[in-house]
Structures are given as C-alpha cells and as structure tokens.
C-alpha cells in the first residue's frame, strides 16, 4: 500500500515551519520583497530552525541524511509566508550539496560551516549572455596555470549574485566543445578580477539577482569541484532535486493565495450575498485547489523517487514545467477574486505573482523541461 503521509517527525517540523512562516515571514513579505537587499535576519532564523543543514554532512553542522523530501517540504512550508526566503533550502540542496559531495576537503571545510550557520550564501553560475537554455554552449573559459586555473567570462541572471560569498562557476577548457571540457569551480566572489552588478527584475528582487564578470580570476587547484572536464554531470544531477523543490515552493505561495481568497469570499458581499455563494466565484477556487493538490503530489513523487534511488529526471522536469504554471494561474485567480484590492500593492498577491513568475524561467523554462521529458520518452530524436 502506498503512503502519502509525512513521517511524524516531518509533520511536526512542517507544522513548526508553517507557523514560523505565518507569524514571522508573512507580515513583512511585501516590504522585504520590494528591496534589493538580502534579508540576513530571516536567513539566520532559518539556520536556527535547522533548515540550512538538511542533507548536509554532520561534521559541518548538517543532519547528515540524504533527505530531498524534507527539503522540498520545507520550501513549500516557508513559501506560504515568503516565497523568496523559501528559496534557501532549494539552493542548499542545489549548491551546498554539490559542494559537499564533489568539493575538495579544504574548500568544503571552509564554506560549508558558514553556509549551514547562515553566515554566508552561495550562488550557482551557469547562464551566460549568449544563452541559458543550451548550457552546452557556454563560453566562459578556465585556463590551467601553475597551481590552479584562471577563469574568464561573464555570467548573467544569477540568483544571489551581489550577496553570495562563493559561487559554483561553470567554465570550459579553451578549445573544448559542447558538454565536453566543462568544469565546475568554487570561486570566492571577493577574488581579484570578479565584478558583480545588480540586475533589476520584475520579481525575486530580494534574492539580489545580477551579473558576475570574471577577468582572469585565479582559483587554486583544490577549488575544482568534481572531475575536471565533467562539471555538468554534477550540475544536472542536482537540478533533478531543485526542479521539484522549486515546484513546491511555487505551490506554497499559491496555496497561501487561495487560502486568503477563501477567507475573503466568506466575508465580502455582492448582490446581498457573500461572494462564496456564487459558483462563478467558488468553482474557480475549487478548480485551483485541485490543480495545486495534483501538482504537489507530482513534486513529492519526484523527490521520493530521488530519495529511494529511482530514476526521476523526467519526474523532476515535469515538476518544474507544470507546478509553476499551476501556481501562477492560482495566484492570478486569487488576485481577481479580491477585485481592486487584489491588484493593490498593499496586498501580497501581486508580489507573489511576480516572484513566482521568475520560476517560469529560472532553472530552465517549460520548453526545456518538456524537451527533457520528450527525450526520455522518444530518445535523442526529441532533442534535435
């Protein structure tokens, strides 16, 4: 018999985080979301709640257990209060995990305790001005020199670009082509030759999005993460985690919006009745509740398959193209249900809409996810 329940420990943790999200994150979400400033205070609260160590090695302060379902559950619960702050566990599972698994001892020992304690954040830098969907076309170069590498190139649209202390940067051996010859490096962002520039965006502003330029930046040999020339293997494997986790993050924000709309339609009256009495109002809410529930279990199924070691790349891609769309549509309906108030910047709805919209693009668009799914169904023919 299949069980769709969290363990008692997971459920207790989920309830604790949901209360934290409602009491601590929700009230000032709008103000935080409008500022291009990383909220260290909330981030350190996440560290105190144990969020930033999930799945990371115990010796550095982590839980030590491979726990993708809990990480996704945490992202969903936190997004109920602040969808931007909720990205922390996703980035932890995407970036810190990659560093922990494939980084070299001195570098891991330097960064991981700081990341788990909430004293530093890490970015992942793949996308370049010439394109992000076709990552095999990246142009940044890493030249071997005595004692290490020199990195040159430009990365664009990078979450935490202006605030991260370190970034996993993907760069290729000069002259290499396609996926071959690309390596991953842990680059301290205060290294000489690194320039950071903030990029204004329609949402996700408090995640300090921006550009990173590398001009002949030296990194020592031990800053190589994973095998030389095989950097993509590590990245792609971790995107199989981040995709369903981001799906859940979007769904958490959407659930908050639908719940708020349900409360509103019970109180607001039109034509001498509560709005809830009109099926034109209640049925869309019922439909979105259904889509959210279906999308949620798709994401958890993907994370569960990861946890037990089943193939899940196709499930991860499904969880990234559909749930963000489902979430965006649900929030849009909540906006309309609130009428003029829904459109007002005093309400969190428009902010959630803009923040969630970032995940229609970040971590790969719907088209790229469908390409992955189609390839698992049809083989290479679907990836021409």
Ligand X SMILES: Cc1cc2nc3c(=O)[nH]c(=O)nc-3n(C[C@H](O)[C@H](O)[C@H](O)COP(=O)(O)OP(=O)(O)OC[C@H]3O[C@@H](n4cnc5c(N)ncnc54)[C@H](O)[C@@H]3O)c2cc1C
The CA distance from 181 to 142, in Å, is 10
Q: How far is the CB of 134 from ligand X (least distance, A)?
A: 6
Contacts to ligand X by CB under 6 A: 123-127, 131-133, 157-159, 201, 204, 209, 358, 361-365, 367-368, 371
User: Which of 55/132 has CB closer to ligand X?
Assistant: 132
Judged by CB, which is closer to ligand X: 265, or 327?
A: 327
Specify the residue, 267 or 367, whose C-beta has the smaller distance to ligand X: 367
Evaluate whether 238 touches 93 at the Cβ level (below 8 Å). Answer: yes
Q: At closest approach, how far in Å is the CB of 371 from ligand X?
A: 6
With tokens 């934290």, the residue in question is 20
What's the min distance (Å) between Cβ of 77 and ligand X? 21
From the list 273, 125, 139, the residue with the least C-alpha distance to 194 is 125
Task: Report, in Å, the least distance between residue 132 CB and ligand X.
Answer: 3
Furthest C-alpha separation in the chain: 79
Separation between Cα atoms, residue 276 and residue 270, nearest integer Å = 10
Closer CB to ligand X, 126 or 256, in the complex:
126
Q: Where are the alpha helices (DSSP H) in the chain?
A: 8-20, 29-34, 40-48, 68-79, 87-91, 97-102, 105-117, 231-267, 279-308, 313-337, 340-343, 349-357, 366-378
Shortest distance (Å) from residue 295 CB to ligand X? 20
What minimum distance in Å lies between the beta carbon of 240 and ligand X?
A: 15
Using DSSP bridges, classify how beta strands 273-274 and 224-225 pair: parallel, antiparallel or unpaired.
Answer: unpaired
- Nearest residue to ligand X, scored by beta-carbon proximity: 132
Where are the alpha helices (H) located in 125-230, listed in sequence order? none
Contact 313, 303 (CB under 8 A): no
Measured from the CB atom, the residue of 52 and 207 that comes closer to ligand X is 207
224: left (phi over 0), alpha (psi -120 to 50) or beta: beta
- Output 42 or 246, the one with its CB closest to ligand X: 246
Q: CB 162 → ligand X: shortest distance, Å?
A: 12
Q: Which of 217/258 has CB closer to ligand X?
A: 217
């Amino acid at each position: 018999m299949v069980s769709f329940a969290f363990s008692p420990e997971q459920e207790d943790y989920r309830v604790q985080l949901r209360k934290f999200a409602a009491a601590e994150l929700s009230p000032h979400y709008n103000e935080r979301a409008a500022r291009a400033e990383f909220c260290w205070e909330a981030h350190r609260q996440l560290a105190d709640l144990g969020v930033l160590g999930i799945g990371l090695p115990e010796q550095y302060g982590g839980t030590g257990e491979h726990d993708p379902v809990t990480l996704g559950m945490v992202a969903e619960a936190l997004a109920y209060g602040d969808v931007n702050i909720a990205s922390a566990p996703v980035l932890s599972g995407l970036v810190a995990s990659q560093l922990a698994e494939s980084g070299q001892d001195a570098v891991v020992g330097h960064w991981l305790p700081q990341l788990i304690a909430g004293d530093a954040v890490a970015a992942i830098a793949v996308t370049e001005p010439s394109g992000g969907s076709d990552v095999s076309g990246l142009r940044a170069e890493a030249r071997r020199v005595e004692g290490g590498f020199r990195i040159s190139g430009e990365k664009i649209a990078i979450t935490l670009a202006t605030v991260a202390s370190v970034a996993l940067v993907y760069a290729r051996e000069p002259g290499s082509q396609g996926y071959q010859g690309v390596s991953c490096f842990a680059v301290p962002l205060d290294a000489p030759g690194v320039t950071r520039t903030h990029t204004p965006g329609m949402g996700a502003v408090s995640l300090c999005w921006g550009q990173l330029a590398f001009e002949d930046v030296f990194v020592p040999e031990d800053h190589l993460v994973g095998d030389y020339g095989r950097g993509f293997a590590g990245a792609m494997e971790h995107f199989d985690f981040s995709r369903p986790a981001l799906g859940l993050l979007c769904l958490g924000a959407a659930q908050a919006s639908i719940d708020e709309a349900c409360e509103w339609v019970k109180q607001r009256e039109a034509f001498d009745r509560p709005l809830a009495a009109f099926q034109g109002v209640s049925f869309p809410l019922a439909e979105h509740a259904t889509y959210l529930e279906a999308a949620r279990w798709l994401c958890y199924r993907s994370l569960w398959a990861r946890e037990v070691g089943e193939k899940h790349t196709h499930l991860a891609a499904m969880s990234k193209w559909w749930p963000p769309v489902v979430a965006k549509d649900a929030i849009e309906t909540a906006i309309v249900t609130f009428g003029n108030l829904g459109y007002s910047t005093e309400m969190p709805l428009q902010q959630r809409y803009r923040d969630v919209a970032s995940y229609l693009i970040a971590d790969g668009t719907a088209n790229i996810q469908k390409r992955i799914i189609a390839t698992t169904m049809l083989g290479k023919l679907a990836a021409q």
